[in-house]
């Protein structure tokens, strides 16, 4: 039976709102529905089971057309479930697959930028809007990668060993369009100054356990003070309570409208300033 003559906009709406089983069925039907269903199916690839990741990466390598449809890709979570030989295969395929994802806008990965994976960041032609990079290794390469992504608006990275970072260092003169940043104090210290960032998440890392209060020092750092003063929202995620630096931090957040404090233990009192506060 032929499809009724309807405006193309209605057909697009049908595909956009179809569930996964329906999309799979549509991909096997008419040429129009097949192309649209495949486009929607590959647009967001952020819930891929670990045992399917390798097959997905091979498809991305063998079919640049399908790879170009991927708008969002994540391989975070579940990797530990792969066997050693599967993990090795995954690591060898990932850079080649990323190279074909020319339309990629949002990337969540725990690896893929490491120098031993044979691909330099310059090999990637996508222009990201957001990245969440969960690896704590190869920070120099990550910084080099960030210089290739001038359109980044949202970034989440864990940097280790950058307590003495100088925000004026040219290597941090990247990502000037950032709107939000998520990371430990070295990340915020490096990326907040010189940008119009509205939202920041400070997540304490295990490597600096108990040291965050000591490294939170704004003396002589006017650019950092101005950046903190321009924030509209901030979230603090700590594994322990740090009463020594919180008053100083709150005092610097002169424009903050929402402050969220997420603690695994401890008590707090934010009575010094009227803020919208939620905590757990």
Report d(CA 188, CA 121) in Å as an integer: 23
Highest mean pLDDT among 55-59, 91-95, 136-140, 273-277: 55-59
Q: How confident is residue 8, by pLDDT bands cut at 50, 70 and 90?
A: low
Closest CA to 28 of 16, 19, 37: 37
Identify whether the C-beta of residue 253 lies closer than 8 Å to the C-beta of residue 221: no
pLDDT for residue 72 is more than 90: yes
Report d(CA 15, CA 34) in Å as an integer: 10
pLDDT for residue 203 is more than 80: yes
Q: What is the pLDDT of residue 238?
A: 75
Q: How confident is residue 157, by pLDDT bands cut at 50, 70 and 90?
A: confident
Report the pLDDT averaged over residues 154-163. 72
Q: What is the pLDDT of residue 128?
A: 95
pLDDT for residue 230 is more than 70: yes
pLDDT for residue 162 is more than 60: no
**Whole-Å CA distances, 278 to 234, 236, 251, 256, 270:** 11, 11, 18, 14, 11
Domain residue spans in the chain? 1-42, 153-280
Q: Which residues of 179-189 are buried (b: 16+ CB within 10 A; e: fewer)?
A: ebbbbbbbbbb
pLDDT for residue 202 is more than 50: yes
pLDDT tens, residue by residue, 43-65: 989 878 877 888 999 999 999 99
Report d(CA 192, CA 181) in Å as an integer: 8
pLDDT tens, residue by residue, 92-112: 888 889 999 999 999 998 765
**Whole-Å CA distances, 49 to 45, 56, 75, 180:** 10, 10, 9, 29
Highest mean pLDDT among 13-17, 226-230, 242-246: 226-230
* Alpha helices in the chain, H assignment, sequence order: 8-16, 20-26, 31-43, 50-62, 64-67, 84-100, 139-146, 185-191, 212-215, 222-229, 246-252
């Amino acid at each position: 039976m032929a499809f009724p003559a309807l405006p193309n906009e209605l057909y697009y709406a049908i595909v956009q709102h179809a569930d996964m089983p329906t999309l799979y069925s549509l991909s096997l039907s008419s040429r129009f529905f097949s192309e649209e269903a495949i486009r929607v199916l590959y647009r967001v690839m952020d819930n891929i089971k670990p045992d399917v990741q390798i097959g997905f990466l091979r498809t991305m390598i063998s079919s640049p057309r399908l790879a170009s449809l991927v708008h969002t890709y994540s391989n975070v979570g579940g990797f530990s479930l792969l066997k050693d030989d599967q993990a090795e295969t995954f690591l060898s395929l990932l850079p080649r697959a990323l190279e074909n994802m020319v339309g990629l806008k949002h990337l969540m990965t725990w690896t893929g930028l490491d120098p031993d994976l044979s691909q330099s960041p310059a090999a990637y032609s996508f222009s990201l809007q957001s990245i969440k990079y969960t690896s704590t290794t190869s920070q120099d390469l990550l910084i080099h990668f960030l210089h290739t992504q001038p359109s980044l608006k949202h970034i989440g990275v864990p940097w280790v060993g950058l307590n003495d970072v100088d925000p004026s260092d040219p290597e941090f003169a990247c990502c000037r369009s950032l709107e939000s940043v998520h990371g430990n104090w070295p990340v915020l210290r490096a990326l907040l100054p010189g940008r119009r960032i509205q939202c920041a998440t400070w997540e304490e890392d295990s490597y600096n356990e108990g040291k965050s209060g000591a490294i939170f020092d704004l003396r002589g750092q006017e650019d950092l003070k101005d950046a903190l003063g321009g924030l509209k929202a901030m979230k603090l995620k700590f594994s322990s309570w740090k009463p020594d630096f919180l008053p100083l931090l709150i005092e610097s957040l002169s424009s903050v409208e929402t402050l969220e404090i997420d603690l695994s233990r401890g008590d707090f009192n934010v009575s010094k300033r009227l803020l919208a506060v939620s905590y757990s």
